Structure 1
Amino acid sequence: MSPIKENMKNLNQEKINQVSKISTKRDGYIDFFKGLLILWVIHIHTVFWSGRAYISDPFREASLLIDVTTFFFISGYLTKPAGLIDSFKRAFKQFKNLYLNYITISLLLLPALSLGYFLRKKLVPDLQQAIIFMMSVLKLEAPGDVWGVIPVYRGSAWYLWVYLSLLFALPFFISCFQSRKLRVVVLFSLLLLLHFSIQFSWNFDFLLTEAVYIYFYAFIYLLGMAYRLDGHLIRTHYFKLSFLINILVCLFIYFVLDNRIISLHAEKFPPSFKYLAYSLLLIHVLIIFQRIWHYPNSKDRYKAKALSFLEWCGKNSYFIFIFQGVVCSIPLYFTDFLLNRFSVPSTYVIFLVFNIIFTLLVTFFYLRVKLSFFKLIKTRQMKQV
């Protein structure tokens, strides 16, 4: 190899290494986008749960055009390629943090759930109910009458099942992602597995979820990794062209294949190629805006506060996701009451505002108490030393 070609190869490798290196500084744009996305998740659960009684199906289905699939893409985007052992260590650490936080919050909910159970059934939860509750917390399930008090919390658990299960499948794929050719092979293989799983029912249980969910969301996750590694090699106008093609494909699905009926919920559980096409729309938006909109460090006080608020939501999206399951369950008990006194649009706005405000308040309060608790423990340990 000539010295010029060798130097060019080294320069290209340096660029790839710089792109793949995850900075310790948080990406403000990514946190901002995650903040918008988690607030939209609250909207989804508003229209799909309490809104089931008064919001039309097309509106509810269309709300799924913005959905949690993009969270998987972002997680992949923020993941640095590593070997098999290092990937497993990282996955286990993340699993431990997410799992312990979920268990802690679930146990803290027990007094409120017991009170809700008593008010509904006029009975105190017995030992059998308590055992079912404890086992369900450990297994990340939510069966039984006690959990029935907050059905949205139970309905949101599927995301945790998929994500936590995916953590133990990803290291095998991530370890192959250090080569560009292997990245293409892995992504294509996942699409093939997804096709066979859907077409020929090649599906089976995998930890807390099913294989079809692993294939689908592993593809999205690794697509985010591939974009982080190779996206700098693709010009922005190609992403715009890809976005246009994506829109045309979705229009074809809507007008031709589905006869002007949008049924994203059915395509989401389990995920299909139609759902993949619709999900890629928001991923394109994320990528294109990241390139054309230089995320501002705004000097305008109100704009800066708004961006800071959304970044806070993005940083704490996991806790917001858990607590929205609790808060979004409350309007279910007051739907008929409000519909008898307000119009449908007013009821929708009242419930949406309630769900967003109280979810954020509960999350903020929990995080402050948690921080104070750990500070207190640290202070006592330092005094003992």
Structure 2
Amino acid sequence: MSRDHLLDGLKGLAVAAVIFIHSVFWSGDLYVPAWMHGACLWIDVPLFFFLAGWSFSKVSDPGKAWRNLWRLQWRYMTFVALVWLGYRLADYPLPAIRLLEWFLHDYHKVQWDDAVMGSMWFVRVYLGVSVAAIVLIWFHARAALPVALVLVGAMYFSQLLPAADWTSGWLPIVAFGVFYLPLFLLGYCRAKGQLAWYWYALIAVQAAWQLLCTPDLVNALINLQAYKFPAQSLYFSCSWLSLCVLLLLTRLPALAWLLTREPLRWLGRNAIHAFFAQGISTTLLYIPVGLLTPLHPYWLALLVPMFALNLYCAVQIARLLKALERLVVSRVRTWLRPTSVQSPARSSSRG
């Protein structure tokens, strides 16, 4: 099956949006105004889950979906093993049990300023949501849309457990799973042609109503990060409205052409490597930001080149991670390949 270039481009746009967000937060906290922290979250992780459901609609072999999840898990384990080794080589007191905790997606001891492991919560939630969505769709594919709509409605009514502790163990899968699972299912239904325009409109009306009914809306949008951890209905509303606008804009020939260009498509095809890489590149960004902020430049004049630098470094590190993965896989296949024992040549007798 040929690849969907628009889907790859949208994935690439989502990766670039996450890199921009982490340029605004982390090192950007030193100079970026507060309102920008909220504005950049309108295109964020929810787009990833919507596109994940869209991607899953193209998987015809059930075994391939499970293999893809396992491939993500071992890539994650390999990457965090390299991170742990890097800490140890830097003489950072990190016990071996911490690596086991990371393998099991337990990040409750991660430092607040660790951009690498601080981003890994996404992998834990993605794996849990994907398993739940895949089981549901294979059990009863027609139930995907009703379940998604019920979950969205329940989220708006219950505000998605705003007191949930998202920092400990696997507990976030309860709050985050209920939030991101309908987005995965809606993306799947969209690709299958089951998501009619009036469902988009109905959820959008509810999202707009949520914004209008939010007390002190301006301050809430500035502090949108507080509604992301744990994910709440205001964050969903902003994400859904921006997602609908983005899907409408893809009908424009100019934007559709831009999204199908190779740079964004490459990011989309290699989204997981770029996601791992951006944690490293975001950490490296502290160096130039620390050197330039004492000069008190205008924040936008500093953010634009820092984002460009972050994006460039993330792409190069992603290429390095891909090359390292290919090397490891080829070596492992060589080691596992059975050696053929050649039978001794028969001596020919002449009469």
Aligned letter for 2:16?
L
Amino acid in structure 1 at the alignment position of 2:184: Y
Other structure's SS at 2:261 match: helix
Name 1:141's counterpart in structure 2.
106
- Counterpart Cα distance in 2 of 1:143 and 1:50: 22
Superposed CA offset, 1:301-356 (max 9, x none): xx79x811110100111111111112211233554332113514343234322211
222-231 or 198-207, which moves further after superposition?
Answer: 198-207
Change (3 A) 1:177 1:134: same
Matched, 1:57 2:34: yes
User: Of 229, 233, 247, which aligns to 2:192?
Assistant: 229
Q: 1:106 aligns to what?
A: 80
Matched ranges for 1:362-381 at <5 A? 362-375=317-330
Q: 1:246 to 1:30 in 2, by over 3 A?
A: farther
User: Are the counterparts in 2 of residues 76 and 223 from structure 1 also a CA contact under 8 Å?
Assistant: yes
Residue aligning to 1:80? 57
When structure 1 is superposed on structure 2, of 107-116 and 93-102 the one drifting more is 107-116
Partners of 2:192 and 2:3 in 1: how far apart? Answer: 18
Tell whether the 8 Å contact from 2:207 to 2:240 is kept in structure 1 after alignment: no
Deviations 1:210-261 (A, max 9, x none): 4121111111111111212235x846xx6896798578547635xx633422
Structure 2 CA distance for partners of 1:201 and 1:57, relative to 1, 3 Å: closer
Deviations 1:69-96 (A, max 9, x none): 111011111223999xx86x55543331
Q: Which amino acid aligns with 1:46?
A: S
Q: Residues 288-299 of structure 1 correspond to what in structure 2 (within 5 A)?
A: 288-293=248-253
Cα separation, 2, equivalents of 1:244 and 1:149: 34
Query: TM-score scaled by structure 2?
Result: 0.80
Runs of 4 or more above 4 Å deviation: 147-150, 199-206, 238-251, 375-385
Any stretches of 5+ residues in structure 2 without a counterpart?
Answer: 341-351
* Rounded Cα–Cα distance in structure 2 between residues aligned with 1:82 and 1:39: 25
1:341 pairs with one of 295, 307, 310: 295
Name 2:344's counterpart in structure 1.
none
The change in CA–CA distance for 1:292 and 1:234 in structure 2 (over 3 A counts) is: farther
Matches within 5 A, 1:199-278: 207=170, 209-231=172-194, 234=196, 245=205, 248-249=208-209, 252=212, 257-261=215-219, 262=221, 263-278=223-238
RMSD of aligned residue pairs (Cα, Å): 3.7
Q: Distance in 2 between matches of 1:56 and 1:143?
A: 29
- Aligned residues: percent identity? 23
Aligned pair count reads 335
Match in the other structure for 1:121 = none
The Cα of 1:154 is off from its aligned counterpart by 2.1
Inter-partner Cα distance in structure 2 for 1:161 and 1:378: 28
Structure 1 residue aligned with 2:9, among 18, 32, 38?
32
Q: Determine if the alignment matches structure 1 residue 131 to structure 2 residue 96.
A: yes
Residue of structure 1 aligned with 2:281, choices 327, 336, 344 = 327
Q: TM-score, normalised by structure 1?
A: 0.74
Residues 350, 141 of structure 1: alpha-carbon distance in 2 compared, 3 angstrom cutoff: farther
Q: Distance in 2 between matches of 1:81 and 1:355?
A: 32
Aligned equivalents of 1:359, 1:211: Cα separation in 2: 31
Contact between 1:173 and 1:186, CA under 8 Å: does it hold in 2? no
Indicate if the aligned counterparts of 2:15 and 2:275 stay in contact, CA closer than 8 A: yes
Kindly report which structure 2 residues correspond to 1:4-23, keeping only aligned pairs within 5 A, or say none. none
1:69 aligns with 2:69: no
The structure-2 alpha-carbon separation of the partners of 1:202 and 1:93, relative to structure 1 and needing over 3 Å to count, comes to farther
